Amino acid sequence: MDVQGYKWVRWQVWLCRLGAILSLGLLLLVFHWRPRLAVLARCRSCPLALADILILRDRFGQWHVVEVLTTEVEESSLELLGQLDDVEWRDTIRLYRDEKMLMRYYLYEGLRYVWLDRKGAFCRVSVLSEDWTCSDLYGFQKGLSPLEQSLRRNVYGDNIIDVPVKSYMKLLFEEVLNPFYVFQLFSIILWMCDEYYFYALCIFVISIISISFSLYETHKQSVTLCNMARLVNDVTVRRSSGEEERVSSVDLVPGDCLIIPQEGLLLPCDAALLAGECLVNESMLTGESVPALKTPLPPGDRKYSSDSQRRHTLFCGTQLIQAKGGGSGDSGAVAVVTSTGFFTAKGNLVSSILYPQPINFRFYQDAFKFLLVLGFIALLGTIYSFVILWQSKVTWVQLVIRSLDIVTIAVPPALPAAITTGTIYAQNRLKRSSVFCISPPCINVCGKVSLFCFDKTGTLTEEGLDVWGVIEGGPAGFSELVPEPRLLPPGPLLSGLAGCHTVTLLRGQPLGDPLELRMVESTGWALQEPEGHGNILDAQFGGHKVLAVMRPPPQGNFTSEAVAIVQRFPFSSALQRMSVVTVAQGGQSALAFMKGSPEMVASLCRAETVPAQFCHRLHDFSSEGLRVLAFAYKPVNVNSDLKAIERGEVEKDMHFLGLLMMKNLVKPESPKVINTLRVAHIRSVMVTGDNLLTAVNVAKSCGMVGSDEKVIFVTATPHTAQSVATLRFSLEDGATAQSSIEVITQGLYQGGFGYHLAVSGKSFAALCDHFPEYLPKVLMRATIFARMVPDQKTQLVKELQKLNYRVGMCGDGANDCGALRAADVGVSLSEAEASVASPFTSKTENISCVPLLIREGRCSLVTSFSLFRYMALYSLIQFCSVLILYTVRTSIADLQFLYCDLFLVTLLAILMGRGVPSEKLHPCRPPASLLALPVLCSLLIHICMIVLGQLAALLIATSENWYIPLNSTVFGTANLPNVENTCVFGMSGFQYIIMAVVVTKSYPHKKPLYHNMLFLCLLVVQFGMMTWFVLKPGSFIIRAFQLFDVTDMNFKMLLVSLAALNFMICFVVEMLIDMGMLNCVQLLRGKRPSKKQYKRLNALLSDSASWPPLNQTLSPTHTTIDSYS
């Protein structure tokens, strides 16, 4: 973030105040819209250390102005903060007096930034605790003194996620100063000066109603978000004296020792768990409905990170269901506060809602540019009207008012609001389909998605797993397959299956990961947890602190002994394994068990214990689509401190035990959805943490890989001291070089659909680090990414976005949070009504929501396009009418303006957005550029037809023998009623209705017009009324609308026919443009390469007969085709 410092200059401040008075407040309004300009006008640049005001430029290029604040800190107390030395703590403040010191800081998006003299910059206050190690955290277990706590609170601030809820008066002030309403107010004042009282009053009332609704909704949303974010409760902390004290959560600071009760609590901060275990519901943050078991943080000197230590971190806003094993008495668990306020995980998510990153979407960018074009047209119209009015010798007041009036016509104030109508309707339809959206602008982005990534387990496949079988393995090889683990003889493998898990009991019911629940159930063993102090169970197992006991079933031919779990190292996606330490009854022996991905477990086992057929059997099982887990064990010294044993010590030199196979069925909806996306030319990519071969099998089962398509494995190895980095492509069936040549000769994988690349997490990392020149080519053809850790999923999404893909991501919200938030469209499958893990949350736990979301996105985008074009054409129709009538020394009547703006245009715009999406996804995506050739040509032709239509009506009327010329001595409404006004009003009224039909698109992204019955009925009613106004208006309508009573029915029928001809021409032109009439222009200028990188790269790879280079070992400097840049 770029930061610039400024200091107030007194004479510049007074000069600006004088300018504000002389400009009647206009200068203050400009400063309100452009705060950076206000700082530059009132201040001078200075070093950051002396700054009163800061200008920040964020990573999106947007500017922000913040004020530097100060707070008094006791110098004598600084040393008590602990982890940082006295010198560095002195760096956080600036000395002004001998005993009092002022700490300088500023607040930005809820985060506190403090001044560090040594670094010469403002840094996040979290930097003071970011270097804490696990050992440091254990040092805080003794608690902070009240003095230490007070000092830390001065530095870190209150522990509260404070969402500002502005008063209605402040909201009203900010809303009224919005450029849209300032322009609206300017227009109303202008109309009042021009004596358009009735029209101005109606617009004023509509604006008041609009502002009221806006204020109510804004305030309501702020209150809702504030209630969701604000979390204040009483918690128990341990002081340095050893006493436990009940305090408000607002007073918590990093370093506080938190005592968690057995019944749990709603956690008000981020904390590292040091003692005991906690069962946590994290669905509010991740969307994952299955509670997670958190275990104590392993001690050591490594740096603590909440991301890498997620299994040992309790996050703010999550519900701790129960805590146990934290010590004597009734204390459930012990944790140390690591982050507070907006620095917590919940604070980060609330901040992302309060301050969302700007959506980089071409439609919104082009909309702003188009407004500038309309502004330029308004300028030309103003100049033209000024000349006409000058020649008409009107008064100076009329000259100014009428000239400025053109601006309010050419630039419709309601344009920004109108284009959101389609999005609002789409959001409501999605909500009825149990898809919830917290970022409505993302709906339009859904319409341009070109690639969708899917997690596997729980997303493409069922969450639950069925045990398929277990097979023991050792130095002698593998034994026979046993279909049920309960049939295994007593031994380490059976004990490992029963005890290596994080399943816990909640009110007597087992709770945990579905895979582990099914695994434990298949053994027949029963879970028992300590009650009360747990001393009885501890005594039964040699005095060790017992977390849980697994007891074998009483019946059976074999008898097994119960085992007690005394230490758990929970599963980590990054490590791909978990482990436990168990003690036998009586405490005579201890065993460590590990389970995880077969490749990872085998790599941590002693080589002589892994069967020689390991790779072959794993290949066979994975190829059948089975979920394979490997088990290992080793004896542990029972006399050592098992609670303090480190994970690295446990998970090495293990003895291989065997493999557990589980069947993960593909959800019935998955193949249908994948096929729908494939037909719509939307790429589907699987991103999973599971085995590569299992992922390939699932990809084939759900249709990502066709039955006639090949899978090519990408194997990349990193650079080591013994070898260079290598890259190799090989067919899945281990084909020989000769058969690979045959594949290429037959052309089975040319054109992008004959083959798919499969990449593992390790290979993906090596590609990113050592083969960046090959990475785009691999991403273009890769469909399966396996053994991917959460960070790699996020990185994959970002790499695909670099190729100009609009990337969607669908996952269960647990390990996919980063990828869901990084994607252009993130969909979390969750039972929660709205998860902040992603913009979209679907309560339907299958991927059928994905085509629905894309269809709604396309419908919304097409509707927004239609509404934008309609509002632009509406302003241009009125613009032309006014200029034509000005030219002949008359104008539009007040009630005519009101009728066109409110009854015709406003109602049409509101109901136009009700169009519903098509049932099928079409292969082509809707356009997103308002400045594309078809759009601009269409608008230009329609404008020409509008002008010609109005001029033709005027010329025909003036050529009639009953035509009465205008009074040339007066101007404007004083000339009403007259033939010119009546003809132009009648023709323009038809044109408003005509353009609503012409620009309303349906096929292929929306259902036909007749499905929007309200809109269709309104069109019929409005067309009937305009026909009535033209053919037989009646005396009341003639007087009210100040129309000329034309008695010639032939002329009136000719006017209606002229409107019909205008409609036919515009409709046919629009249809021809939609059918590709302008393709001939593109042929003349020649085919240009696509602006999208993935399309250019796809064309390059499709023309290459040597990609991918099968069965060749490539080095980072070796290339087989020209590198793509």
CB-based burial of residue 118 (10 Å sphere; 0-12 exposed, 13-18 middle, 19+ buried)?
A: exposed
Active site residues: 455
pLDDT of residue 76: 42
Residue type, 888: V
pLDDT of residue 1086: 65
Q: Can you say whether residue 603 is alpha, beta or left, with left for phi > 0 and alpha for psi between -120 and 50 degrees?
A: alpha
Whole-number Å distance between alpha carbons of 318 and 231 = 11
Residues 552-592 pLDDT 10s: 987 655 667 889 999 888 887 778 889 999 999 888 889 99
Residues 482-524 pLDDT 10s: 998 988 888 899 999 999 998 888 878 888 888 888 899 999 8
pLDDT of residue 295: 85
Q: Are strands 710-717 and 755-760 parallel, antiparallel or unpaired?
A: parallel
User: In the sheet where 53-57 sits, what is the strand order?
Assistant: 43-45, 2-8, 53-57, 63-67
H-helix segments, 244-356: 283-286, 345-354
Whole-number Å distance between alpha carbons of 415 and 915 = 19
Question: What are the residues facing 453 on neighbouring strands?
Answer: 685, 809
Q: Can you say whether residue 1122 is alpha, beta or left, with left for phi > 0 and alpha for psi between -120 and 50 degrees?
A: beta
Whole-number Å distance between alpha carbons of 989 and 794 = 53
Question: What are the residues facing 626 on neighbouring strands?
Answer: 663
Computed from CA positions of residues 687, 689, 693, 695, in that sequence, does the dihedral angle turn out positive or negative?
negative
Whole-number Å distance between alpha carbons of 793 and 785 = 9
Question: Which is nearest to 591 in space by CA: 535, 538, 544, 521?
Answer: 544
Structure tokens, 576: 């791909």
Structure tokens, 885: 């009538």
Q: Are strands 526-528 and 548-551 parallel, antiparallel or unpaired?
A: antiparallel
Report yes or no: 797 and 806 within 8 Å, Cβ to Cβ.
no
Whole-number Å distance between alpha carbons of 519 and 508 = 18
pLDDT of residue 851: 95
Place of tokens 């669908």: 810
Q: Dump strand ranges (E) for 573-679.
A: 577-584, 590-596, 626-636, 655-663
Count CB-CB contacts under 10 A for residue 758: 23
Low-confidence ranges of the chain (pLDDT < 50): 76-99, 734-739, 741, 744-745, 747-753, 833-834, 1118-1125
Residue type, 129: S
User: To 5 degrees, how large is the angle CA 748–CA 754–CA 755?
Assistant: 110
Computed from CA positions of residues 541, 545, 550, 551, in that sequence, does the dihedral angle turn out positive or negative?
positive
Q: Helix axis angle, 849-887 relative to 362-391, nearest 10°? A: 10
pLDDT of residue 720: 79
Residue 1048: phi and psi, rounded to 5, are -80, 105
SS3 433: coil
Q: Dump strand ranges (E) for 819-971.
A: 825-829, 840-842
Who contacts 909 (Cβ-Cβ below 8 Å, separation ≥6)? 414, 418, 421, 867, 870, 871
CB-based burial of residue 24 (10 Å sphere; 0-12 exposed, 13-18 middle, 19+ buried)?
A: exposed
pTM, to two decimals: 0.77
CB-based burial of residue 241 (10 Å sphere; 0-12 exposed, 13-18 middle, 19+ buried)?
A: exposed
